[in-house]
Copies of this chain bind each other. A is one copy, B any other.
Amino acid sequence: SGRPTVTSGDGRFQAFLGGQFQYDVGGAVQGNLNPGASRLDSFGQNLRRGRLFFGFRYDDLQLNVTPDFGGSPDGSVGLYEANLNWTPVKPLTLTLGYFKPWITLQDSMSSNDFLFLERPSIVEIARSIAAGDGRSVVGGRWTQDRWFASAYLTGDSYGGNNTTQATSGQTGGVARIAGRPWTDADADLHLGLSGSYAFDIRRTGSGQSLQLRDRPELRIDQTRLIDTGALPAEKAYTYGPEFGLRWRNFLLQGEYIRIGVDQARSGAAPRPDLEFDGGYVEASWVITGEPRKYTTSGAAFARPVPAEPFTLDGGGWGAWEAMARWSVADLNDHVTRGRAQAATGGVYGGRQEVIGTGLSWYPNNYLRFMLNWDIVNVDRLNAAGTQQIGQRFHSIALRSQLAF
């Protein structure tokens, strides 16, 4: 992929270096707020991703170590991945260590290729349970031109014991299967299914708990507007179908995701099993005509490659793309307006709906500028079920990205 590479004399040992820089500027446009609603950053900056990829290959072994100097928020250095890979036969790769295992169509896209700055909230919430960045895994992936299958046993995430020591780490699994029933020069039809299951939630001295939440699809401010709080969970699962259709320089894709949480019994308190859901539909039109090609190694659609890179002497204008998305995440369950959530054992986590539009400019194959304008609507009651603490607001943000 054009990464600077150093190769040993016999060609068996290779070291390569990659970089990813995503720097966001923007903020939320809010008016007066309900009491209890959160004031977000009206203007700020954030290094969303600042990664250096170090890869080392020896015959069919590969070690990947990727520190991340960005984050949510930036300021503390972390690790995106550190894993060992073995490719015993060609389309199969076995992986051990901290890794981002495949789940959902959206999370299978490179973060350089996203249509919007952030993944839809329901995808973020789903992947936080037994997948996501820096997840402890062992498993493998099989990729062919028309088929993709992957399955991993997963444990805790990098740094899980950094503040509190587990007395029993999480155990779970994540799997994905996807295919292209139709593909020709003009079109790709993608269908898929993925899910995850946490057999046993991480346990610490104070018991087991799981918290589902997300920011409003913008990470310049780190406040989460939908949040279940700590649920006394024993198990949890996620699943959902994937759909994608490219026709020439148009792309339409979407997913529906369902999340279940089994709560632990506790005396006479009601502890029903909970279900949350959400989904999104998003579309892209590459104005300058380049297609979003299908990547078989991840079974997802990549960003367009500019046909005529931008140059000052008039050689070209790069690629331009317009995007739109509708995204819903509903973290309310087993609650009745006016009744406290403790009375029913449910949770007023809130329902978030985001309508977004965007514009991308790709001056060349490495550089990208991406403008997002989102309308966010959060409908959420307080724990007593008596007061609206949600809000409706706009957010505007510009991402500057360089990646290779």
A21-B97, A158-B74 given; A82·B65 CB < 8 A: no
The answer to whether the Cβ of A287 comes within 8 Å of any Cβ in the partner chain is no
Asked if residues B96 and A23 are in contact (CB atoms below 8 Å), the reply is yes
Q: Are A82 and B69 in contact (CB under 8 A)?
A: yes
Contact status B67-A400, CB under 8 Å: no
| Contact of A46 with B by CB under 8 A | yes
List residues of chain B with CB within 8 A of the CB of A364.
58
Residues of B within 8 Å of A19, CB to CB, are: 54, 56, 63, 65
What does the 1/0 interface line of A87-109 toward B look like (CB < 8 Å)? 01000000011100000000000
Would B41 and A65 count as touching, CB distance under 8 A?
Answer: no
Q: Which residues of chain A in 180-206 are interfacial with respect to chain B, using CB atoms and an 8 Å cutoff?
A: 205
The answer on a CB contact under 8 Å between B73 and A161 is yes
Of B25, B47, B52, which is within 8 A of A54 by CB? Answer: B52
Inter-chain contacts of A402 with B (CB < 8 A): 56, 61, 63, 84
Contacts of A39 in B (CB 8 A): 167, 205
Of the candidates A15, A97, A155, A167, the one having the most CB atoms from chain B within 10 angstroms of its own CB is: A167
Interface string of A151-189 (1 = CB under 8 A from B): 000011011111001111101000000000000000000
For residue A76, which residues in chain B have a CB less than 8 angstroms away from its CB? 159, 162
Name the contact of A169 in the complex, choosing from B15, B44, B63 (C-beta under 8 A): B44
Report B-chain residues with C-beta under 8 Å of the C-beta of A50: 65, 79, 82
For A159, what are the chain B residues with a Cβ–Cβ distance below 8 Å? Answer: 73-76
Closest-CB distance, A364 to chain B (whole angstroms): 8
Interface size class of A (residues with CB under 8 A): 35 or more
In the complex, chain B residues whose CB is within 8 Å of the CB of A2: 8, 13
Q: Which residues of B contact A21 (CB under 8 A)?
A: 63, 65, 82, 84, 97
For residues 203 through 245 of chain A, which have their beta carbon under 8 Å from a beta carbon of chain B? 205, 221-223
* Complex CA distance for A75 and B165, rounded to whole angstroms: 12
Kindly list chain B residues whose C-beta atoms are within 8 Å of the C-beta of A45: 136, 155-156, 169
Chain B residues near A387 (CB-CB < 8 A): none
The 0/1 profile, CB within 8 Å of B marked 1, for residues 15-58 of chain A is: 10101010101010000000000011111111100101010101
Which residues does chain B contribute within 8 Å of A44, judged by CB atoms? 155-156, 160-161, 166, 168-169
Q: Residues of B contacting A77 with CB < 8 Å?
A: 67, 77-79
- A31 to chain B: closest CB distance in Å? 14
Give A60 Cβ to nearest chain B Cβ, in Å: 8
Q: In this assembly, does A6 line the interface, its C-beta being within 8 Å of a C-beta of chain B?
A: yes
A195 to chain B, nearest CB (A): 22
- 18 residue pairs of the A-B complex, CB under 8 angstroms, read A2-B8, A23-B84, A23-B96, A23-B98, A25-B136, A27-B169, A43-B168, A44-B161, A44-B166, A47-B82, A50-B65, A58-B404, A63-B402, A67-B67, A67-B69, A73-B160, A97-B400, A161-B221
Q: Which residues of A contact B (CB under 8 A)?
A: 2, 4-6, 8, 13-15, 17, 19, 21, 23, 25, 27, 39-47, 50, 52, 54, 56, 58, 61, 63, 65, 67, 69-70, 73-79, 82, 84, 88, 96-98, 136, 155-156, 158-162, 165-169, 171, 205, 221-223, 312, 364, 366-367, 400, 402, 404
